């Protein structure tokens, strides 16, 4: 069965303390893996799309990487404004639908 698992469920960090969020997936054929950020009461904000193992993308303090089984979202020297829920989703070949993980709630304390 296709599934996406995110860990940890919640992560509390001090400002400046770098860490990583994990998204492991099981699909028959990966078309793309997507990372979104979601603030409370708002729609998901697109961050990255990754298509093949070994691919990396960066945006400010965030860096996403992809292997054949999982993706990591690395957060370097986070700030309180990075606090949000980070969602991972995968898309199978020949299927436009997204399979969503449950998200990781990230809290950055000043």
Q: Provide the 3-class DSSP secondary structure of residue 19.
A: strand
* Single residue of 1, 14, 29, 43 touching another protein by CB under 8 A: 43
Phi/psi at 8 (nearest 5 deg)?
-75, 175
Answer yes or no whether residue 32 interacts with another protein by CB under 8 A. Answer: yes
Distance CA 33, CA 12 (A): 25
Binding-site residue total for another protein (CB under 8 A)? 21
Answer yes or no whether residue 25 interacts with another protein by CB under 8 A. Answer: no
Distance CA 104, CA 15 (A): 17
* Binding interface with another protein (CB under 8 A): 31-32, 34, 36, 41-46, 49, 87, 89, 91, 96-98, 100-103
């Amino acid at each position: 069965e296709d599934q996406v698992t995110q860990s940890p469920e919640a992560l509390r960090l001090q400002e400046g303390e770098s860490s990583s969020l994990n998204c492991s997936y099981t699909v028959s054929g990966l078309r793309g893996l997507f990372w979104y950020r979601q603030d409370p009461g708002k729609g998901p904000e697109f961050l990255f799309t990754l298509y093949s193992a070994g691919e990396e993308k960066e945006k400010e303090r965030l860096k996403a990487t992809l292997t054949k089984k999982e993706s990591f979202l690395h957060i370097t020297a986070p700030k309180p404004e990075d606090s949000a829920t980070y969602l991972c989703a995968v898309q199978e070949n020949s299927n436009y639908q997204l399979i969503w993980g449950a998200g990781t709630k990230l809290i950055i304390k000043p």
